[in-house]
Amino acid sequence: MTNALPTGADAATEVPLKRRLRRAERTRQAKALALVLPLLLFLLFTFAGPIAGMLWRSVEDWEVRQVLPQTVAALASWDGKDLPDEKAYAALASDILAARAAGTIAIAAKRLNYALNGFRTILTSTGRNLKAVPEPGTARETLGKINPAWRERATWTTIKDASGPITGFYLLAALDLTRNADGAIVAAAPDQAIYRDIFVRTFLISLGVTALCLILGFPVAYLLATLPPGRSNLLMIFVLLPFWTSLLVRTCAWIVLLQSKGVVNDSLHWLGIIDAPLRLIYNRFGVCVAMTHVLLPFMILPLYSSMKAISPAYMRAAASLGAPPLTAFLRIYLPQTLPGIGAGSLLVFILALGYYITPALVGGAADQMISYFIALYTTETANWGLASALGAVLLLATVLLALVYGKLVQGQQVTGGMKN
Amino acid sequence: MSDNSSLRTPSQRIAWTATIVVSTLVFIFLMAPILAIMPLSFSSGSYLTYPLPGLSLRWYDDFITSPRWMNSLKNSMIIGVASTLLSMVLGTLAALGLAQWKSRFKPLVLAFVLSPVVVPGVITAVGLYFSFAPIGLTGSYLGLIMAHTALATPFVVITVGATLQSFDTNLARAAASLGASPLEAFRRVILPLILPGLASGALFAFATSFDEVVIVLFMAGPEQRTLPREMFSGIRENISPTITAAAVILTTISVILLATLEALRRRNERLKGGG
């Protein structure tokens, strides 16, 4: 904009007006931006900042650095091929004595125990039994006597790997991977490799719920889009009322309906269909039923609006050209609902991926999704690095799917505009 | 196929009947939980089963006389109203700005503003838990109000933005040409016209805060427990009929919100149709 000014300066009469208009426009734009700015700053503080903080925690590695600073410094030049030199042992002994005095050994022990099971004992027993600074030259011998683990290379590689300031440890752990003593990425030990299964479970539950929503939602959306407005508005209440009802109310209601002495089991028993109550809740079935119930409106509404936009003339044209009803439906109607199917399915799938409350309340231990573990590691076991890493993977999946969704919806608006 | 009279062939009629049957079953599925839980709250017995031994209001009485439940209702109201007000101010300003702002970064900014809706609740909650705890915003009303405002504002931006899109900017120019100051033009011309949009936005914002439980789970202290949070513990421990009373109260509030929203939408359509 500023580059254009000198060339325009030759036409003496037009310039002031042009420039004034431009300046007015620029002020207007600045004012418009100033109106958006408070919200942007607010979201930076209450949303983007905290999430960035969580992402940072998934790679941050501060515990060992802070508790054993001299050891970290001494290991910086260690090539990891053989046992470290006497200097590193002396540094560790001095660090442990200082940490014991400050009461911080547990912090480093907790972090190192994530990487090598049993490290907590190694560090705390050493802290307990190391009475004083070893004589110069005897640190290796003294520590080795207290705990033979200090004579093993893997113990020291673990400390070096955890030296920070950043680490891929948690992100690798979230994908069931780890680094071996040589620094190569390998599969994690079977007892720690649980997260891939949880991600697969989360994915499968979300996929199943999306499919159920599509199967149940399609006929309803079709009915609502086809009926005359008066009746479809009335029926729409059946979709919107549950949509607006609190998630907790609906989850609570499903428990009342499905529990072993619940309404469904009682009715079936009364009708003589079953003798013993069926197990309908606190398992995968209950999770899928409750989640489908919560997410179904998110499928019906986009489907409805895409079907509403389809002119009945197309179907009449197909019929008049001799297409049997099924052919007309499959080849004319269905393809036009595809954008709605895509948008609705993606929306339901994205929302399902992050579900926490419903599985937590109506699922069993084997039905908990990834969000449950993020919450568990945050509040119960306080393994914040792992919680953040699992969160980072879930966030990445959500953002990628949301981008696809955005493209899809945007594309729909464009084609919708062209049709008009 | 636009109405039943055009269904000529038997196969079409069968398909239509099947659609109606399946849809009816789905409507029953959608409404069943709400319909099943309502009568139970009026039961005189303490088991959540049918048939009811008798009718009574004892569980509502239990709710009203319980300091725990009433405190949670009060908290939900305080946090809901405060975050609605805050999100209305931030969201309306942003919607006004976005309507005038022309830039290729606009889609990016819009995506950012709307992103709190898409990001899973647990992720937002964990992030807030980490970053609000060191500055003393966990276990406080202020922290919860701010967090709920972040979640609610996108709905305000969307609803108010949609209203502004259909707003005729010539009216604002006319006001200016007749000598109204920008503030006066906003107060006397723009505001009355976008008021239904603002009201819908406020309802969405309130409903978002009122129904939110994940962030409350992570951030609220015992003092700030909201109604959904109290229901969460209630469901976890043991479902007492008092919870069904709480559920009916929550649902009634939802119905009032939905009805108001629907009335606003109808009014808006009528005005548009008339003009």
How many cross-chain Cβ pairs, A to B, lie less than 8 Å apart? Answer: 275
Q: How far is A325 from chain B (nearest CA, A)?
A: 7
Of A37, A244, A293, the CB nearest to B207: A244
For residue A48, the enclosing domain spans: 4-57
Residues B164 and B95 in one domain: yes
The answer to whether residue B28 scores a pLDDT higher than 70 is yes
Using 50, 70 and 90 to split pLDDT, how confident is the model at B3? very low
Residue bearing the bigger pLDDT, B272 or A152: A152
Nearest CA in chain B to A221: B23
Instruction: Name every chain A residue with its beta carbon within 8 A of the beta carbon of B210.
Output: 246
pLDDT over threshold 80, residue A414: no
Of the ranges A203-217, A398-412, B166-180, which is most confident?
A: A203-217
Q: Which residues of A touch B31 (CB under 8 A)?
A: 238, 241-242
Judged by DSSP in three states, B52 sits in coil
Q: Considering only the beta carbons, identify the residue of B19, B27, B36 that sits closest to A256.
A: B36
Contact state of A398 with B150 under an 8 Å Cβ cutoff: no
Chain B segment 114-173 residues within 8 A of A by beta carbon are 115-116, 118-132, 146-147, 149-150, 153, 157
Q: Are residues B78 and B189 in the same domain?
A: yes
Q: Which pLDDT belongs to residue A58?
A: 95
Q: Averaged over A126-137, what is the pLDDT?
A: 84
End-to-end Cα spacing for chain A:
36
Q: What is the pLDDT of residue A417?
A: 33
Verify that A396 and A344 share a domain, yes or no: yes
User: What ipTM does the predicted assembly reach?
Assistant: 0.89
Report CA-CA distances (Å) from A363 to A78, A213, A293, B190: 49, 19, 15, 50
Is the pLDDT assigned to residue A348 strictly greater than 70? yes
| DSSP-based three-state secondary structure for A95 | helix
Question: What is the distance of C-alpha B29 from the center of its chain?
Answer: 22
Q: Check if the beta carbon of residue B200 is closer than 8 Å to that of residue B264.
A: yes
pLDDT value, residue B103: 84
Q: Averaged over A122-142, what is the pLDDT?
A: 85
Give yes or no for residue A139 having a pLDDT over 90. no
In-domain check, residue A89? yes
- For residues A52 and A83, membership in a common domain is answered with no
CA distance readout (Å), B54 to A192, A315, B37:
54, 55, 15
Residue of B nearest to A36 (CA): B94
Cα atoms in the Cβ-side hemisphere of radius 13 Å centred on A65: 11
A84 shares a domain with A138: yes
Which of B11, B90, B111 shows the shortest C-beta gap to A406?
B111
Alpha-carbon distance A245 to B257, whole Å?
Answer: 10
CA B15 to chain A, closest CA, distance in angstroms equals 9
pLDDT over 90 percentage in chain A: 45
Highest mean pLDDT among A255-259, B25-29, B220-224: B25-29
* 8 Å CB contact of B236 and A53: no
Rg of chain B, C-alpha, whole Å: 24
For position B273, what pLDDT does the model report? 57
Tell whether B18 and B138 lie within a shared domain.
no
In a domain? residue B65: yes
Are residues A250 and A112 part of one domain? no
Q: Select from A25, A26, A33, A39 the residue whose CB has the most chain B CBs within 10 Å, as the one to mutate to test that interface.
A: A39
Q: How many domains does chain A have?
A: 3
| Domain annotation covers residue A345 | yes
Identify which of A238, A251, A252 has the shortest CB distance to residue B27: A238
A308 found inside a domain: yes
| Residue where a domain terminates, one of A117, A148, A164 | A164
Say yes or no: B25 and B151 in one domain. no
**B contacts of A33 (beta carbons < 8 Å):** 97, 101
Domain for residue A93, yes or no? yes
Instruction: Tell me whether residues B97 and A36 touch, CB distance under 8 A.
Output: yes
Whether residue B86 sits in one domain with residue B28: no
**B236 inside 8 A of chain A by CB:** yes
Residues A412 and A335 in one domain: yes
Instruction: Using the predicted structure, report yes or no on whether residue B7 has a pLDDT greater than 70.
Output: no
The mean pLDDT value of chain A amounts to 88
**Do residues A97 and A210 share a domain?**
no
User: What is the average pLDDT across A344-369?
Assistant: 93
Question: What single-letter amino acid sits at A98?
Answer: A
Nearest CB neighbour to B236, from listed A257, A296, A361: A361
When pLDDT is cut at 50, 70 and 90, the band that residue B6 belongs to is low
Residue A104 maps to a domain: yes
Using a CB–CB cutoff of 8 Å, tell me whether B257 touches chain A: yes
The pLDDT assigned to A214 comes to: 97
Round the average pLDDT of chain B to a whole number and report it.
Answer: 88
Mean pLDDT of A216-230: 93
Q: Tens digits of per-residue pLDDT, B215-268?
A: 999 999 999 999 999 999 999 887 788 999 999 998 898 889 888 888 888 877
Total tally of structural domains belonging to chain B = 2
> What does the buried/exposed string (b/e) look like for A364-385 if buried means 16 or more CB atoms within 10 Å of the residue's CB?
eeebbbbbbbbbbbbeeeebbb
Q: Do the Cβ atoms of A43 and B22 come within 8 Å?
A: no
The one-character DSSP state at A116 is S
Structural domain that includes position B34? 4-40
pLDDT band at A132 (very low <50, low <70, confident <90, very high): confident
pLDDT in tens, A274-325: 888 889 989 999 999 999 999 999 999 999 999 988 888 888 888 888 888 8
B186 touches chain A (CB under 8 A): no
Partners of A253 on chain B (C-beta within 8 Å) are: 32-34, 36-37, 247
User: pLDDT by residue (tens digit) across A38-89?
Assistant: 999 999 999 999 999 999 999 999 999 999 999 999 898 888 788 888 888 8
Nearest to B118 among A247, A355, A398 (CB): A398
If you ran DSSP here, which 8-state letter would residue B43 be given?
Answer: B
Inside any domain, residue B48: no
B83 vs A contacts (CB less than 8 Å): none
Peptide bond into B51 cis (omega under 30): yes
**Residue B64 sits in the same domain as residue B33:** no
**Is B19–A266 a contact, with Cβ atoms under 8 angstroms apart?**
no
Is residue A307 domain-shared with residue A323, that is, in the same domain?
Answer: yes
Clarify whether residues A72 and A48 are in a common domain.
no
Asked, for residue A185, whether it belongs to a domain, the answer is no
Taking the CA of residue A92 and the nearest CA in chain B, the distance in Å comes to 31
SS3 state of residue A369: coil
Note whether residue B205 is domain-resident.
yes
